[in-house]
Structure 1
Amino acid sequence: MIKRNLAAAGLLAISLLFTLTTSGKELTVREDAGHYHLNSHIEYILDGERPLDELLQRGQWRNKNDDSVLNLGFTNQSVWIRASLTIPEPLTRQWYLVIPYPLLEEVDLYIARDNQQPAIYTSRQQTEDQRDQARSYQVALPLPRNLDGQVDLFLKARSATSLQVPVELWREDHLLLRFSLVSLYWGAYFGVLCALVIYNLFLFISLRDLAYGYYVLYIGSISLLMLCISGVGSAWIWGGQPLLPRYALPISTALVSLFALLFARSFLKWQDISLRWDRSMKIAAGLAGLLIFYTWANPIHGAMLAGLLGTLVIVLLIAVGVAGLKAGVAIARYFVLAWTTFALGASLYLLSVFDLLPVNLVTKHSMQVGSVAEVLLLSFALAHRIKDERARKLAALRKQQMAERQVRDLEMQSLEQAMHDSTTRMPNASLLNQHLQTMMSRKQRVALTLVHYPQVKDIASSMGHRLAEEVFCQLMEKLNRTLAGLDGVVCLESRQSAYIAIPEFGSAAFVVDLELFEGPMEPFIEQVVGNHEISVHAVRLPVFMNLHCGVAIAPEHGDSTEILYQHASAAQDRSQSSKVPVQVYNNEISDFARRRLDLVTALPPAIRAGELELYLQPQMNSTGQELVGAEMLLRWHSPRFGPVPAGEVIDIAENAGLMDLLSRHVVTEAWQTMKILRERQLNIPCSINLSVQNLTDSHFVTFALAGIREHAIPMNRVIFEVTETSMMHNMDAVIGSLLQIANSGCRVALDDFGTGYSSLAYLSRLPIHELKIDRCFVSQMSSSQNDLGIVQSTLKLAHTLNLEAVAEGVEDTRTMELLSQLGCHRLQGYLFARPMPLDTFCDWATALSTS
């Protein structure tokens, strides 16, 4: 309403100055004519921001003396246009002022006749909202019926693209007839594009070739672009939204460039021909993607940049096609011809848009003609591509027939490989299974031994699979030589004197014929498999390979190979959990497996019921007189199973996928415990242990740090303990989690230091603040010079790196005095106190402070 009132006020001033505005270029309009061109009967001013009355007073109107279209190129200004008409007789039919340029966003029309008040105002937005005008692909503003006499038309136009203002008068019946003819033209155009989309979409779904998918997207982008340029979109799709093409036009142009580049790259497969051209297309595609986002923020400048980018892309695609021809790609000739045709049509259109060529029938429709010719030629290219691929498939079929003859010659070799491990060339489980079946069918008494070396996979995770394979091959060679000299061990393959089989990487198996063997089984096997030291040159340290060994005897422990494997594997698992090198299967192992299954089932309800709690073990200063910290340790007193060792709880949680549930419960309880300690005036640092699964899960670390902040616990009072063996699992993820912890202000302690083999190699990379010396060295240091030397070296290393040192396992006064002399910062062990519940710990700490 405000805009209309202002318009009426402006027209009042216009009518007062009517005598000054009468144009000498009047046009006589007669009812019997069908339409008139007003391009040679107009005057204009490129200053649309000034009021019309001010422009009339200054008399700065420019005459236009030819019949060409008023084309002002890219400009941010609006233009005023004036045309004077003489209508001898009142108009009995509906007439329209038509502007055949649908990209105009704002068009305002003021009609004044015979100095009458008030003047008539209408606009494109108002006309399209009312929906009472004849449907048209152009801007069509209705003139009042019964209009006659001296009429002045004042037109204000604005566009985010090229500002072209062709002005015409059309009688409604002629306009509808023209609309019908143009509809047939555009129907045929978009019908061709639609047919190509359906055809190539079917090919894309059938062949799963990205080239056809990109081509479908490219045709869709071309369709959107032409909907904007032609006015078909305004007529049928987004009528009443004249500002929508401001965004749709540059975005569709950028999409055309983007999908054209992706199609060209996939169609010609430039990544296999020339990396330089492929890189150029990637850069241009990136610019097109950026332009899409830029256009959303600044559509006016985006339209000009889209035109420039489109020109650059067309030149690049033609150059790429020519380079493809030189490289011997036959289908590139269609590609070059298609883009040359499109380039010619687009160039004529863009030159007219930039006011470098006049607007006429050729330049107005050159884009449409060039685009339809281009998509047809590209479809021919795709069809030729299918023909070439079919020829290649036929050639491949002939090669396949020749290869089949070679395959028959390689079948025996393949069968041989199927019975051997690819890494060690030793027999695999299939060959071992054949021997076992043969021996068990003869009722022979045999022992199946499974050996697993867990450190092999740790080496593969931390130092690479190639080094792990080298280590494993050395192990198997030594083990095979050892077994070859022993009585009773079954030779699985005489050709290479192989006595072992490889069920999986990191494991080995062999069979002992007990009819040829005398003596106890466990010491014999432990002596055979447990004495192998491998030199790993990458870290310049000798590595003693730990192992887990399980033994099952037939027919006592199974009358089939499947059951024997099952029981040997169960014995191996028991060997791992009980830390026993060799374990022979017995009924207790089955009971242990059932108990483990029951514990897995009972653990989640126990967590929810609060059966798991945290105990605290104090950490004292170097003299053992002052409490300087505490370590939180997990305890589970189950009403059904009794006390469950913490190590078993952790092992169950890790293997059953319950580690995240358990760890979140533990850290939640830990922060509540530290809060209670602070309330009881025990503001001491507390340590909490993390597993390898916690360190490789960034979400858990974020959860833990958020809990610290939520309970208002000072970050420097929290110490996260990690074992050095956990460093071997996904080293990069572990270091990332430790950096996140250290950057938050919390401290990191390296637990069980000295028990692994990676500490010296990776210590400089870890953001740690403390070293915890393992109890196996501390407990024996007063009686063992070797352990004492290890502790001394560790403390020197800690002092050199400015790290605090914590000694675990302090159980006597002599050990405490030695550690104090060596400069150990904190002490922990049964000499001071065992782990205890929170309330007991608080009472103990209070009694210590008072004493």
Structure 2
Amino acid sequence: MLAGRMATFRSWALGAAILTLLYALYASADMREVDTATGRVDLNSDIEYLVDNEDLSLSQVRERGRWQKNTEGSILNLGFTDVTAWVRVILQIRQPLDGQWYLSIPYPLLEEVDVYLFRDGQSVPFYQVSRQTIEKQRKQPRSYKIALPLPENLNGEVELVLRARSATSMQIPVELQREDQLLNHFAMESVYWGVYFGILCALVIYNLFLFFSLRDLAYIHYVLYLASISLLMLSLSGLGNAWLWAGEPLLTRYLVPVGTALVSFCALLFAHSFLEWREISPRWEISMKVAAGLAGVLLIVTWVDPLHGALFAGLLGSLVIVLLIAVGIAGLRAGVTIARYFVLAWTSFAAGTSIYLLSVFSIVPVGFVANHAMQAGSAAEVLLLSFALAHRIKDERARKLSAMRKQQLAERQVQDLEMQSLEQAMHDSITKLPNTSLLNQRLQSQLGKDDRLALVLVEYPQVREIASSMGHNLAEEMFCQLARKLNHTLAGLSGPVCLEQRLPAYIAIPEFGSAVFVLNLSKLVGPLEPFVEQVVGYHEVALHSVRLPVFMNLHCGVAISPDHGNTTEILYQHASAAKDRSQTSKTPVQIYNEGISDFARRRLDLLTALPSAIDAGEIELYLQPQMNRTGQELVGFEVLLRWHSPQFGTVPPWEVIEIAENAGLMDMLSRYVVDQACKVMQTLRERELDLTCSINLSVQNLTNSHFVPSALAGIREHGIPMDRIIFEVTETSMMHNMEAVIGSLLRIADSGCKIALDDFGTGYSSLAYLSRLPIHELKIDRCFISQMCSSRNDLGIVQSTLKLAESLSLETVAEGVEDRQTMEALNDLGCDRLQGYLFAKPMPLEAFCAWAQELSAN
């Protein structure tokens, strides 16, 4: 029995020895042996940690023992949290620490830090210290990190427990540092931050100087931005806690979000004035105001709840950075050259801030690069923005110098022009006869003598025609001869007023191809109109030794003083209006009257308003249906112009066309019509109306080499089948520049579009050209269709035209069908399509669609 007890005792002793050995092995595995030779010991790979969500006491934390090993070996980073974290590490210090050592935590955003030291597994710490106590007692050496002193001559096995708490991010880098190493590190950090804040201070002084010199708000906004970012970096780096508000670590809780709000607001102010925001886009103005408003909200949130204010600050800062980079890119696209510096600057800041925030949220490892990324990014940013401001000064200086050079050049040009004007002020450069300046002086002196005077303005259109067809030199020679002969003729008559005694000269030249002279009606023999027509109506000129009698198709306007005005300007204006009326009415000599003034004023107003009316879409397209030969089926439509002007009322289509042709606006008008017709076709095809569209072209369109290719390209872009478009041309247009017209028509036919000969039979005979022209369709004019049932001659013309079209394999369209008898007669004669008021008048698009749906329903 005694032997059994001895065996049992030996078993228990062996088990205890094994457990003691295992505990010793386990303890030595978690124990960090401290080597004090280097003066610095990194403990991050040896720590254990515990996240306290229950606000446990020190004894509870040690009893529960739910410690987690920092397996990664890097700096412990718990992300953005406000919970309490506990850290433990067991140290084996074989030799007493020489000198003063500190527990160093290089992360200044920790607000509360308490350190407890235990020896030999005791439950009560033999030493404890806290950040707040040390800072209030001023026992901590100046440092940008948290440094808590350890007992002197510390040795043996020591358990270190650390309690940390923060309202922002939770990073707990733990290391032991001797005092000399701590001070050396502080000196190196001071150099870094000294350079950084030295740059900021230099930039503040420099930009303040620029602001007071240039009075440009961009510079003062930049100074405010530098001040706000200085405040933010003082808070994040621990510099402020080391120098400015030592002993008040909780103040950083408020200053970080406040600094972020101020940085965001000042950055937006600076961007607004630097990039001239409104010139880029109004939407960026709205975005800026929203972001600035969020900065104000952040200040309020920070005052009420600084814990959530810090999180909101990170989100707002990221939003503002992205917004500013987007604005800079928009500025580059808008042509703001200095925006490239702006984009690069904020991209640098974004890169540094992103690395820093990613380390805060435990996405990237914490280290020297991550901790100083924001510092480096902001330094690069402020330098690049300074370069941008300097470049802005350079650009402004270059613009001012360029403006000064342009002004000087303009002044020299003005001086040269003044000299030329002085030389040619009184004479025409081609004929050397007086011009309107001398005429005005002479006429003004004559108006003061109470004589009845007639101002006669003559225009020779053949001069300009010869200039365009045979050359300007030949036209100038011809015009000089005409001017001299007219001047010679007037010199031999009684009544004309001599304008210059030196030649003598009786006529003045207002422009090339025109002449003006003054008659004293009291000395005139006979009626005024026959006299003027006889003087200017016929002259003979010799061109290249060939005597050429020229019967001028002249346009002549006459204004009489005082009946039509008592100043030179009014008389010349009324004579010009009478000359224009002479041109339109085909009257050789036209004396001014009030009706002419009203007509000229209306035409001028219409001419001025037409381009803007086209741009504003006042020109509307009306659609007139085209039916099949029985009049039962809708097969196409013709687009017709309608101008319902708010100022002039309804302007007749013929007047719109005439104004456009005379003013050179036909190309613009026809391009608009083709574009609108394509949109009409798209709408009709969407409503399942597959119809042909007939569009009228002017002779100016056919002789313009650029119009037809542009019109065809527009039709293709709208996706309209080419064979559904019919271009209508008149017979009279064929007689102008025939070769150019045929070339345009061939290009149209080759594209797949069709060509209709409009108003067939009313113009010049074009039968000789039908074989050369790519015509697909003949449109019989309404003047024959409306009378064909009552006039045998008109009926014969219609029958002959239909037979001619049939023999040439051309389709036919009859215009002006207004009764069923005419419709039935055309059906019997084999006309392909019918168009007229019998079916419908021209109507707007929506009315046309409704009419077409009603027709199909019946």
TM-score bucket (shorter structure): 0.3 to 0.5
TM-score (norm: length of structure 1): 0.44
Q: Which has the larger radius of gyration?
A: 2
TM-score (norm: length of structure 2): 0.44
